[in-house]
Structure 1
Amino acid sequence: MAQHARSIPRLHSAVAGSPFQGASAGDDIMVIDPWRDEPVHRLARGGADAVNAAVARAREAFLASRWESRATRAGWLLAAADAIAAAAPALTDLMVRAIGKPRRAAGFEVGRSAAFIRACAGAIHHLHGETVPLDGTPAGAGRFGFAERVPLGVVAAVTPFNAPANLLVQKVAPAIVTGNAVVVKPAPEGAAVALEIARLFAEAGLPAGLFSVVLGGAEEALALAAHPDVAVVTVTGGTAAGEALARAAGAKRFLGELGGNSPNIVCADADLPDAVARILPSAFEASGQQCISTQRIIVEEPLFDAFAEAFVEGARRLKAGDPDDPDTDLGPVVHARAADRICGMIDAAVADGARLLTGPDRRGCLIAPTVVSRAPQASVLVREEIFGPVAVLLPVPDVDAALALANDCEYGLQGACFTRSLDTAMRMSRELQVGSVWINEASRFRLDSYPFGGFGKSGTGREGVTYAMEECTTWKFTGMRLSAGR
């Protein structure tokens, strides 16, 4: 890292679309390219001043624009989606450099982000209110009521590094289209993407103040969550960070999409080649750095050896390396600290008796697809979220044992089961303790049309187009006495 700090771009918070000068350069956060091991840019911490300025401006913008029509708000989103789609090459480059995301996956993420924004623009026209019958009791006679969903005000969004465009717009678009203002505190590695998307929204016509970005770390995130003028806090990130933000938020509405430890159950009657083909990318694409990446693969014993052999063979065929290569399947993890943590978890499991079938073959921040077999139930690889390219194979005698093992976990975000039996599929739907269950599809598969969120340490609330829009609004009732003579 010979590049001198003065030649590295310095990024600033953007409040109401204008750069906000943060703390002194000595407090900067450096973002390192995890593949090249060289600085990409440095962030000026916004501190309390940037948080206060962004929230104050957001509150003003909300009050000024909350009566804009749905058509106007949808128009803002459609224009922003077009701008983001047009800027796909630049956004892709930022992700490749700052987080080591493979170019193919980064390009897909930008396209999905634009599609999500367009979906929110369309869905706002179907977010209906309702009439409320009041004459069910004598006191309600001669009275009429209706309820509508109204915006809450300023939405504070704390976003992670792993999908810096998609997980940002998952919060920004529902907030804006329902009439709110939003202040985003992105993970440092996703800051450049957040700033560029905010700029694109502004250039597309979004009024100043409705979308601001505050740079920094935990201090800025906690200050934003605790701010008295913030009405909603929405977070995607680790469970410990989410719990700290929930405490800071207090009585505010809190939406937390937090950690995961996704179980994928492979029953003895499963289509083996199909299960392997779907679980492989679910475990290893994005270097396993997604909350719904496959972690625990629970296989009925009659199929276990054949599955393990095919899965390891498939893992060895995946291309791990330069994220700028369009043929790369998985690049480096986000930074050296993450690589140290992941390899430490692998070593601990092997010391406890687990078998290492392939990997990790670490080179800097690059960890090859790693498959571990028969890790003890008390192992950190089984109990905790790995957030890396590691899959744990666990044999079980039957479906009962598979469900018991899958549910013996504090996380409950998304799970999967591979089976040809409708009865087994329906039992998984009922008994698997996760927010979403996929049958004959791996746990990393996600669509934006269904309610997405978890149980337990995986958080609270639900995302997805209409579900996130509901989280950004609340019911307001109006009642009328129709005749003074009754």
Structure 2
Amino acid sequence: MTETAITEVESWIPGGGLSRSETMHELSNPWSGQPSLKIAPAGAEGIEAAVAFAKNAFGENLGATVAQRSQWLNAAADAIEARIDSLVEMSISHIGKPRRAAEFETKRSAAFVRACARQIHDFGGEVLPLDSAPAGKDLFGFTRRVPYGVVAAITPFNAPANLLVQKVAPALVTGNAVIIKPCLEGSAIAIEIARAFEEAGLPESLLSVVTGHREEARLLAEHEDVALVTLTGGTKAGEALAKAAGAKPFVGELGGNSPNIVCADANIEDAVARITPSAFEASGQQCISTQRILVEEPVFESFLEKFETAASKMKVGDPRDRDTDLGPVVSSEAADRIEAMIEEARTAGARILGGPQREGCTIRPTIIVNPERDARVVREEIFGPVAVVIKVRDLDDALAVANDSEFGLQGSCFTSSLETAFRVSNELRVGSLWINEGSRFRLDNYPFGGVGKSGYGREGVRYAMEECTQWKFTGMRFPGHA
């Protein structure tokens, strides 16, 4: 097993240095168990400095043109691509993400930044017909979208590059200043990406990174000079930070418990081929990973047999190996929690297939068959390589089970019926839905976000840009008119 070098990280705040904290957060490589990362928390001093510099940079750069902002993003995408090797190695060492997945994520991150650079050219306002009201005669009005100011972007470990640029690029290209507060595990990656934007010519202090944990996130969210907070994370974290943020705008992409419905008329082989990676790749550590699979009774046994076989063929092991499908979960604490949920379901009478064979932080793909419908593995977000397969009578039953959840992020349905597809679209309470695709599938050009405890607001290129701006109206009366 390769020895892991220890990376030391502290806040990256262009424009002003900080005294180094004596207290460090220390993390281990989840695959090797060896120390891999030390993070110095920013503390209140770091938050104050970052916000002050960002506020000043926002004011100084309000005149930056659309062409200039687009140029910064395109150059930043080039700089991110030039760092693919280092970003991938950090993702493997600090998070345990398999190499193939880490490479895909980094390339997607650069592509997303470029997509925002393109979209800003068509991101306009509108002219309003003020004379639709009698008092509006001879008046002219128009609207445009303007930036909020300082945006706090709080990001998670599971896609430390992609979910970071999903917030940073839309905010910067629309004229905001951004302060990133990454998860501990993603701290080094966040700083590397910030340096890519600096290399691209982004003016000093329009982007900074404050390191730390819950306290830094809270201090940033509640700061009076932070105008908008955008978070990807768990529902409890979202509720706490929304409370801290108070009346300011808040975008939260929070927890999930994705339902995937398999109808009796579905192509079962295709459903299995798409649901298996949706459930188990990324070790199930994505908010839209398939968790609940609701299978109509006539095809239940056929689906389950094929699903178990497909899951058993996934390569579990060293994330450095290119053929590894899933590596460890992020920490031993996460592995303990997942294992406890599985054992609780087993004790209550559920059938367990394929797992939870565990070694260190690595848990093999595990299938839980027909647990009680009020079991934790059904009601809560597992966030691990675990899928729950539930037999349902028909589509009515499937929709009832799927909607019996406080979450509603993204779901899917496998069917050959157009009528069924439209019915599920109408009745399944989720923010986004895929027909004949696993729930973990995502593209960046559609509105992505949840309902219920899955969050508020939408991400995706144009939709995130809308969240990072607000409407401003200007009305005119021309001189000489009554």
**Taking structure 2 as the reference length, what is the TM-score of the superposition?**
0.98
Shift, 1:18, TM fit = 6.3
Partner in structure 2 of residue 62 of structure 1 = 58
Among 229, 234, 239, the alignment partner of 1:238 is 234
| Residue type of the alignment partner of 1:447 | L
Matches within 5 A, 1:257-406: 257-406=253-402
CA distance in 1, matches of 2:236, 2:242: 10
- Residues 270-305 of structure 1: CA deviation (Å, up to 9, x unaligned): 001000000000000000000000000000010000
- The runs of at least 4 consecutive aligned structure 1 residues that moved more than 3 Å come to 17-22
For the 8 Å contact 1:81–1:114, the answer to whether it is kept is yes
Among 11, 15, 21, the alignment partner of 1:13 is 11
Shift, 1:104, TM fit = 0.4
Matched, 1:193 2:186: no
Shift, 1:53, TM fit = 0.5
Partner in structure 2 of residue 99 of structure 1 = 95
Among 198, 203, 227, the alignment partner of 1:207 is 203
Partner in structure 2 of residue 79 of structure 1 = 75
RMSD: 1.3
CA distance in 2, matches of 1:149, 1:122: 17
Shift, 1:122, TM fit = 0.1
Partner in structure 2 of residue 141 of structure 1 = 137
Matches within 5 A, 1:161-180: 161-180=157-176
For the 8 Å contact 1:96–1:106, the answer to whether it is kept is yes
For the 8 Å contact 2:98–2:325, the answer to whether it is kept is yes
- Residues 347-406 of structure 1: CA deviation (Å, up to 9, x unaligned): 111111110011110000000000110011110000000000000000001000000000
Report the 3-state secondary structure (helix = DSSP H, G, I; strand = E; otherwise coil) of the residue aligned with 2:118: helix
| Residue type of the alignment partner of 2:8 | R
| Residue type of the alignment partner of 1:418 | F
Shift, 1:36, TM fit = 0.6
Among 413, 420, 426, the alignment partner of 1:424 is 420
Among 426, 433, 437, the alignment partner of 1:437 is 433
Shift, 1:10, TM fit = 2.1
| Residue type of the alignment partner of 1:180 | N
Report the 3-state secondary structure (helix = DSSP H, G, I; strand = E; otherwise coil) of the residue aligned with 2:49: helix
Shift, 1:137, TM fit = 2.0
Report the 3-state secondary structure (helix = DSSP H, G, I; strand = E; otherwise coil) of the residue aligned with 2:359: coil
Report the 3-state secondary structure (helix = DSSP H, G, I; strand = E; otherwise coil) of the residue aligned with 1:185: strand
Q: Alignment length, in residue pairs? A: 481
CA distance in 1, matches of 2:85, 2:68: 28
| Residue type of the alignment partner of 2:383 | F
Partner in structure 2 of residue 447 of structure 1 = 443
| Residue type of the alignment partner of 1:140 | G
Report the 3-state secondary structure (helix = DSSP H, G, I; strand = E; otherwise coil) of the residue aligned with 1:307: helix
CA distance in 2, matches of 1:130, 1:351: 61
CA distance in 2, matches of 1:427, 1:18: 56
Shift, 1:17, TM fit = 6.7
For the 8 Å contact 2:13–2:205, the answer to whether it is kept is yes
CA distance in 2, matches of 1:369, 1:236: 25
Shift, 1:22, TM fit = 3.8
| Residue type of the alignment partner of 1:16 | P
Matched, 1:157 2:153: yes
Shift, 1:140, TM fit = 1.1
Partner in structure 1 of residue 36 of structure 2 = 40
Partner in structure 1 of residue 109 of structure 2 = 113
Report the 3-state secondary structure (helix = DSSP H, G, I; strand = E; otherwise coil) of the residue aligned with 2:364: coil
Partner in structure 1 of residue 86 of structure 2 = 90
Change (3 A) 1:407 1:17: farther
**Taking structure 1 as the reference length, what is the TM-score of the superposition?**
0.97
- Residues 5-34 of structure 1: CA deviation (Å, up to 9, x unaligned): xx843211001276644421xx21112100
Shift, 1:322, TM fit = 0.2
Change (3 A) 1:131 1:485: closer
Give the fraction of aligned pairs with identical amino acids, expressed as a percent: 62
CA distance in 1, matches of 2:74, 2:132: 43
